[in-house]
Amino acid sequence: MSVFGNFTDSHWRCGRRHRCLALSLFISNLLVSTPISIAETVWDQALTVEAPLNIEWVGDLEFDGVRIKKLRYTGSVWKAEPQRVYALYAHPEGDGPFPAILQIHGGGQTCYPSNVAFFVKHGYACLSFDWSGPRDNRPESEITMWHQDFRGEYMDPEDHEPGQNFIHHAVLAAVRGIDILCQRPEVEKENIGVQGVSWGGYLTWLVNGLEPRLKAAVPVYGIGELEKQWSGIGQSLRNRSEAFQAYWKTNYDPASFADNQHGPVLFLNATNDFFGQLDECEARLKQVQVPHRRSYGANRMHSLDPESVNAAMAWFDAHLKDGGEFPEAPILEMGVDSKGVPVATLKVDESRPVESVRVDFARGPFHPLLKGWLSSQADRTEEGVWRVEVPGVDSAEPLSLIPQVIYEGDALLSGEVVNLVPAQEFPTARATQLTSDTLSDWDNGPSGWILQRGTDFTHADNTRLELGEVEGHQALVYRSESPAGSIRLVTRVFADSARNKGNMRSLVLWTHDIEGITLKTNWFLRQPGALTHKASAKVGKGWVKHVFPLSELIRIEEETDQSPEGSKETLENWNDVHSLELTAQTVQEGLPAIGWMGWE
């Protein structure tokens, strides 16, 4: 066993900083009637951990050619018991110094070697710690064994001591992780960033709001406002007393930390994410005082767009490696031309090479989680100015738009979401598109479909969806550098107002080189009344037509992927479907593709 350093200099620094903060808050409280923020007083008491780090190096492993060290350190103290945090650490080959990333995993997960190796391969030292604790039969040697008082609890019990939850202790473990990075001789302590996904993104907002040593932050989802979520922890929070809700909101919600962020923020999100609802994301970003940008993957839900990951690494490089100025966000202005056609004009920062510019748009009065997003490519009209017509079927219906720019290196930078009703803003606005029974025919690109991916940066591989002609038919083609095997696609075109509703008809889907196919409706939507139904079919090589009548789609429970016991309930109406997940087993050495989809 080896011990590396004590919590000395950083302990003094945190204590001094927060004593000064408490004094200034006390003085200002004498001058005005506004009470001191609970978040400041709780964290003022908590951030000074009265214990040494006692770093213990407990082993090593190799992942994808990267040598990773295992360690334990004291992240916090509860009832006089040091909470020993399990973590992984690695750095690029050589003596450095290297910029560093504190990586915070998602809820129910752990510190994965793949995440550490990802950042090392991009030139960063990386520390990732386990904050989930005991679960999923993980060996005790590779978990953080939190105190029984809060083990596995996202929120304190109603009768609680302040900080009796593992979110609180995860924040402290993150701050102490920064202490470790600052002590490492191969780390540039002036260039440390933080990245977290889902609950890790949630924690990133808190840590970046408390820790001035951070120079860049990339939270993914985890926007806060939990009480507004329909199910899960949102329901749990609403069931608590008003006093507890106020305690939680003030101490542990990103909304209470957004205006005190330290490192510049690039926020990554999916347009349909339950843990990062788009309207709340925009509200949160309006609070942020430091430089900030956004990168939104259209039609995704807890799934990262590879281009957003590229933007994240460009963001870190710009702020931690002196990688040059990061482009300004695109700005979208709506108008109509002389014929009443809605037109979007985009102002684009062209200080870095631009690969493409588009507008993602969603039509109709749908909840943010249910919207179906389509795309229109913009044309450059002059330096820094791009223009695109936005088709519509009813100028009196709500329209949401996101300006999107792909920079060199496939990095996606999004602009502020614009919401309007064209007819209210522009009386001459008119409809330019008719409704249709066709859901997808690929005449307008792969708009409305995405390849479902995981939440971590490592899930953003090189596979792509692209248009192509397959045996004389226009199709959405899946191309991969490795054998496809199984693919998962998601579409939300059902929620687009230009598509006729299916009502009681059958869904028709053409596929190419697909052996088996499974459809799931409304999968993981997290909205009231959005039931999930499932159907499977054997298809085959070449082009095959399959018809899915309502009677083939059987209701299932999301948690089990099975029908409720004794139930054979079928889908009653296609109008209740907002999204469709398609899982396909591909033909060996085939060319998997999706053809026409619509109603019959």
Residue 445, pLDDT above cutoff 80: no
Question: pLDDT digits over 210-229, tens only?
Answer: 999 999 999 999 998 888 87
Number of Cβ within 10 Å of residue 112's Cβ equals 17
Domain that holds residue 187: 9-320
Residue 4 lies in a domain: no
Burial class (CB within 10 angstroms; exposed 0-12, middle 13-18, buried 19+) of 424 = exposed
Q: What's the average model confidence in pLDDT over 421-449?
A: 87
> Residues with Cβ < 8 Å from 377, sequence gap 6 or more?
356, 357, 358, 388, 445
Q: What is the 3-state secondary structure (H, E, C) of 487-517?
A: EEEEECHHHCCCECCCCCCCEEEEEEEEEEE
User: Is the same domain home to 341 and 454?
Assistant: no
pLDDT of residue 470: 92
Residue 231, pLDDT above cutoff 70: no
User: Is the same domain home to 392 and 273?
Assistant: no
pLDDT of residue 101: 99
Q: What's the average model confidence in pLDDT over 246-258?
A: 91
Rounded Cα distance between 61 and 244, Å, is 43
Question: pLDDT digits over 366-378, tens only?
Answer: 888 899 999 999 9
Q: Which two tokens stand for residue 583?
A: 């899982």
Question: Residue 376: which CATH number?
Answer: 2.60.40.10
Question: Residue 241: which CATH number?
Answer: 3.40.50.1820
Which residues lie across from 489 on neighbouring strands? 451, 582
Residue 431 lies in a domain: no
User: Is the same domain home to 27 and 108?
Assistant: yes
CB–CB of 574/550 below 8 Å?
yes
Domain stops at, among 355, 390, 425: 425
Residue 578 lies in a domain: yes
pLDDT of residue 19: 34
Q: What's the average model confidence in pLDDT over 312-329?
A: 94
Question: pLDDT digits over 521-575, tens only?
Answer: 998 877 777 889 999 998 889 999 999 999 999 999 887 888 887 778 999 999 9
Provide the mean pLDDT of the chain. 87
- For 74-109, the DSSP string reads EEEEETTEEEEEEEEEE--SSS--EEEEEEEPPTT-
Q: Report the phi/psi class of residue 443: left, alpha or beta, with left for phi > 0 and alpha for psi in -120 to 50.
A: alpha
Identify which has the larger pLDDT, 443 or 285. Answer: 285
Number of Cβ within 10 Å of residue 113's Cβ equals 18
CB–CB of 215/192 below 8 Å?
yes
Residue 517, pLDDT above cutoff 80: yes
User: Is the same domain home to 63 and 93?
Assistant: yes
Question: pLDDT digits over 159-171, tens only?
Answer: 778 788 889 999 9
pLDDT band at 41 (very low <50, low <70, confident <90, very high): low
pLDDT of residue 230: 66
Domain stops at, among 320, 339, 363: 320
Question: pLDDT digits over 427-440, tens only?
Answer: 999 988 889 999 99
User: Is the same domain home to 270 and 415?
Assistant: no
Burial class (CB within 10 angstroms; exposed 0-12, middle 13-18, buried 19+) of 17 = middle
User: Is the same domain home to 120 and 157?
Assistant: yes
Question: Residue 535: which CATH number?
Answer: 2.60.120.430
CA distances from 93 to 56, 61, 65, 99, 123 (A): 22, 15, 11, 13, 9
Residue 523 lies in a domain: yes
pLDDT of residue 133: 87
Domain stops at, among 293, 320, 347: 320
Of 80, 104, 223, give the one whose Cα is nearest residue 171: 104
User: Is the same domain home to 315 and 335?
Assistant: no
Answer positive or negative: Cα dihedral of 184, 186, 191, 194.
negative
| pLDDT above 70 as % of the chain | 90
User: Is the same domain home to 216 and 361?
Assistant: no
Residue 370 lies in a domain: yes
Angle (CA) 166-172-176 rounded to 5° is 140
Residue 40, pLDDT above cutoff 60: no
CB–CB of 314/308 below 8 Å?
no
User: Is the same domain home to 295 and 356?
Assistant: no
Amino acid at the residue 54? N
pLDDT of residue 9: 34
> Residues with Cβ < 8 Å from 170, sequence gap 6 or more?
104, 131, 203
Collapsing DSSP to helix, strand or coil, 26 comes out as helix
Residue 314 lies in a domain: yes
pLDDT of residue 456: 82
456 φ/ψ angles, rounded to the nearest 5 degrees: -85, 160
pLDDT band at 14 (very low <50, low <70, confident <90, very high): very low
pLDDT band at 461 (very low <50, low <70, confident <90, very high): low
Residue 433 lies in a domain: no
pLDDT of residue 523: 86
Number of domains forming the structure of the chain: 3
Least confident of 10-19, 27-36, 417-426: 27-36
Burial class (CB within 10 angstroms; exposed 0-12, middle 13-18, buried 19+) of 167 = buried
Identify which has the larger pLDDT, 310 or 455. Answer: 310
User: Is the same domain home to 420 and 466?
Assistant: no
User: Is the same domain home to 88 and 213?
Assistant: yes
- Per-residue DSSP letter, 345: E
Rounded Cα distance between 370 and 42, Å, is 38
In the block, tokens 């939440």 appear at 455
Rounded Cα distance between 88 and 239, Å, is 37
Amino acid at the residue 555? R
Predicted structure pTM score: 0.90
Residue 48 lies in a domain: yes
Q: What's the average model confidence in pLDDT over 263-287?
A: 94
User: Is the same domain home to 188 and 287?
Assistant: yes
